[in-house]
Chains A and B, each alone.
Chain A
Amino acid sequence: MSEMPGRVAVRFVVNGRPVEREVEGRQSLADCLRDGLSLTGTHLGCEQGVCGACNVLVDGQVVRSCLMLAAQAEGCQVTTVEGIGEGDRRLNPLQQAFLDNHGLQCGFCTPGMLIAATALLKENPHPSREEVTAAISGVVCRCTGYTDIVDSILAAADAMAR
């Protein structure tokens, strides 16, 4: 193509904070979060929708931020892994359960896992082991073998019920 296409103005809310950006049309939401807004908790493993490390919540629903253009987030509420804690750098019960149950090793997949689990527990506060497994089936972990991740999420469900 002969000329560079123009930029797109986009406004959305990230972790409760309104943001306004000018982005390239082709920029993914993941790149906008990481490079534009310095929210590097959202990880990029494959950039083609396969690994789940880039999961974020958009209007409360878990989605792949590499499979969404930043421009498509117009008017949306986006929650990244930075936004699920309790503020003041305190861990929420889900994060604490990952820590207590060895739910992470290298941590690369962890943002995707935490986001998928957050969406699950909001919809289904008392999931079965099978339901947890299904909910994280879209996130690839090459370290843990998944068992400790499932245990962590079940422990978080218990802790949150108390």
Chain B
Amino acid sequence: MKPAPFSYERPSTEAAVLERLAGHGQRAKLLAGGQSLMPMLALRLVRPDVVIDLGGLPDADRLEEHDQELKIGPLVRHQAVVDSALVRSKIPGLAQAAGWIGHREIRNRGTVLGSLAHADPAAELPALAVALGATLVCRSQKGERLLPAAEFFLGLFQTALAEGEMLVSCHLPLNDLTAASVFTEFALRDGDFALAAVAASLLTTADGKVASVRCAVAGMGPMPVSDPSAEQQLIGETASEAVFTDFAHDLLSHAEPQDDLRASADYRLKLAASLIVEALTESMAAGRKGGNARV
């Protein structure tokens, strides 16, 4: 249960991180909060020759509003997001999602960008990033790419990050839709991985028709599941439990839930469907009040 030996490096600038990443290639792993990487090292599921600690980067824990976007730096920890008044008021679904992650001990160390880059299929933040249309900033010595979250997650623990590239920032739009965002999930015990988790945001017009909607689920396949065409179809419908249920059905037709010791695939589908309806209903209520329902 001890990691295999590796060299530890702690560069003090982003340029130095990118230089080392370019030099070491796949032999190196980036370490942010370590709450996923450390267990993988201990279990020797990964055996990098070099671990590059991002802990020495100045201002990497910045969480700020800029040009109607929330910008999340590489060392912003989950608990900082949970506690942020900015996040709780302007993008409550993010604070809720971060609050569902692991236990307090994990949230105190784990980082938002680390979770996105790790791309665990049951993780909360990838689904939230897809639902709310996050832009992920990937940087290497060769330059920078801005990827929509929907194009970043490629499969089980797989992302579009290329060799030598680092996820340096996550940008989330701040608008009426994200202000009504909701995140909910169900796990067997406090801190367990979710059996199913849902990020959703929905706004209605004054006469109760769906004006805009975004939704993604986690734990229902190798990566977050969303359905932009089902979202398009929902727009203009009169909001009701019945149309939300139909929407959940359409979205979940793309899901690939697995049977395991904790729950059957069938149970997960039913659970996800009811969580989707619940999240959309709650987001609708939050949107009508012009803010969040609960954090």
Contact = CB atoms under 8 A, between A and B. Distances in A.
B52 to A, nearest CB: 11
A121 interface: no
Contacts of B6: 5, 25-26
B189 A137 contact: yes
A78 interface: no
Nearest to A65: B105
B250 to A, nearest CB: 36
Interface in B44-62: 49, 51, 53, 55
Contact of A137 (B8, B34, B35, B103): B103
Contacts of B49: 1, 5
Most buried by B among A58, A68, A72, A134: A72
A41 B108 CA distance: 22
A25 B105 contact: no
B243 interface: no
B285 interface: no
Contacts of A49: 35, 38-39, 106
B5 A62 contact: no
Contact of B109 (A64, A119, A133): A64
B10 A71 contact: yes
Contacts of B43: 48
A159 B38 CA distance: 38
Interface residues on B, range: 20 to 34
B53 A69 contact: yes
Contacts of B5: 1, 4-5, 24-26
Interface string A116-142: 100100000000000001110110000
Contacts of A69: 8, 31, 34, 38, 51, 53
A133 B103 CA distance: 11
B4 A137 contact: no
B103 to A, nearest CB: 3
Given A26-B2, A26-B5, A63 B109 contact: yes
Interface in B95-117: 102-106, 108-109
A99 interface: no
A38 to B, nearest CB: 19
Contact of A47 (B1, B10, B103): B1
B293 interface: no
A73 to B, nearest CB: 10
B246 interface: no
Interface string A48-68: 110010010010011110111
Interface string A19-61: 0000011101001000000000000001111001001001001
Contacts of A138: 102-106, 191
A100 interface: no
Contact of B53 (A4, A64, A67, A72): A72
A141 B27 CA distance: 38
A137 B190 CA distance: 6
A135 B1 contact: no
Contacts of B229: none
Given A49-B106, A61-B108, 14 more contacts: A1-B49, A6-B7, A24-B5, A25-B8, A31-B2, A48-B1, A64-B109, A69-B34, A71-B53, A72-B55, A116-B105, A134-B190, A137-B189, A138-B105
Nearest 7 Cβ contacts at the A-B interface: A138-B103, A25-B8, A5-B7, A47-B1, A137-B190, A67-B38, A48-B39
14 contacts: A4-B5, A24-B5, A26-B4, A26-B8, A28-B2, A47-B2, A49-B39, A52-B103, A58-B108, A67-B106, A68-B34, A71-B10, A72-B53, A138-B102
